[in-house]
């Protein structure tokens, strides 16, 4: 990074009240809070990806194969945010490509078609709270979400979508901070930095055979967010 660009970053973070900046090869100690800054003006997704680099900021890098940054239309008016990569995503470096991802694709494209919209998966943007696969697909720890969340925040600021659809409880905690369960929050609108946020179930939850009612609810949630964004 050249000197002028570095100065721009530092001045921007200073304006946000951030007094400490950690080097990529020197992650913050566990007891230090990680501040989630907005992206500097004019920042691109490519610049954010380059800033992540070969990330060793938290323990999740130890077992990962690939960093899973995000995929889709970089100017999408709708962004889906999930929890973290699974085995298929870790192998391919692309979010939501396993069974849950195939269901998400069906939900997006199928619901859009039924509602008379010409919308494909590649027209939206899809990413996760954490960019590396947690061991055994466990839930990300709070410090992992904090450290990786700064990049998610920068992605969302850069894309500036009309709405965000959060998939599951981990994404809810990362963006909204509510402790209520998804069942109570789903289908309702919240806000993240003035961007409307719709809460619904994670597709992996919907794959369980006993969740047929939840499937219908998720389709209703998706219908609501698609009409809000694309009508």
Average pLDDT, rounded, for the chain: 87
Pairing state between β 125-128 and 71-72: antiparallel
Rounded to whole angstroms, what are the CA distances from 214 to 7, 168, 218? 49, 12, 6
- Residue pair 170/129 in contact (Cβ under 8 Å)? The answer is yes
- Can you tell me whether residue 148 is helix, strand or coil? helix
For residue 120, the model assigns a pLDDT of 97
pLDDT at 16 over 60: no
pLDDT at 96 over 90: yes
Which residues, 6 or more positions from 214, have their beta carbon under 8 angstroms from its beta carbon? 201, 205, 206
- Residue pair 81/128 in contact (Cβ under 8 Å)? The answer is yes
Phi, psi of 165, deg, nearest 5:
-110, 115
User: In angstroms, rounded to a whole number, what is the distance separating the alpha carbons of residues 78 and 14?
Assistant: 30
How many domains does the chain divide into? 1
User: In angstroms, rounded to a whole number, what is the distance separating the alpha carbons of residues 231 and 229?
Assistant: 6
- Residue pair 222/206 in contact (Cβ under 8 Å)? The answer is no
pLDDT at 163 over 60: yes
Average pLDDT of the segment spanning 77-98: 97
Please tell me whether the overall predicted TM-score, pTM, comes out greater than 0.85 for this model: no
pLDDT at 190 over 80: yes
Residue 124 DSSP label: S
pLDDT at 148 over 60: yes
Average pLDDT of the segment spanning 167-180: 92
pLDDT at 113 over 60: yes
Identify the CATH number of the domain in which residue 38 sits.
Answer: 3.40.470.10
- Can you tell me whether residue 84 is helix, strand or coil? coil
For residue 15, the model assigns a pLDDT of 41
pLDDT at 105 over 60: yes
| Number of helices and strands in the chain (H, E) | 9, 6
Tell me which residue range forms the domain holding 181: 3-230
């Amino acid at each position: 990074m050249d000197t002028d660009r570095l100065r721009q970053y530092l001045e921007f973070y200073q304006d946000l009240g951030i007094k400490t900046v950690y080097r990529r090869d020197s992650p913050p100690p566990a007891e230090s809070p990680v501040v989630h800054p907005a992206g500097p003006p004019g920042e691109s997704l490519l610049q954010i990806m380059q800033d992540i680099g070969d990330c060793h900021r938290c323990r999740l890098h130890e077992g990962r194969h690939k960093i899973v940054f995000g995929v889709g239309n970089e100017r999408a008016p709708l962004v889906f945010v999930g929890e973290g990569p699974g085995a298929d995503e870790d192998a391919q470096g692309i979010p939501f490509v396993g069974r849950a991802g195939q269901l998400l694709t069906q939900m997006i494209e199928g619901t859009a078609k039924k509602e008379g919209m010409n919308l494909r998966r590649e027209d939206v943007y899809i990413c996760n709270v954490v960019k590396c696969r947690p061991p055994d697909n466990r839930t990300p720890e709070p410090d992992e979400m904090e450290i990786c969340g700064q990049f998610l925040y920068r992605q969302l600021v850069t894309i500036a979508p009309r709405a965000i659809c959060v998939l599951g409880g981990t994404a809810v905690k990362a963006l909204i901070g509510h402790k209520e369960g998804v069942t109570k929050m789903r289908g309702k609108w919240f806000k993240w930095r003035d961007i409307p946020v719709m809460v619904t179930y994670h597709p992996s939850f919907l794959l369980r055979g006993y969740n047929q009612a939840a499937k219908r609810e998720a389709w209703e949630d998706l219908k609501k967010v698609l009409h809000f964004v694309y009508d």
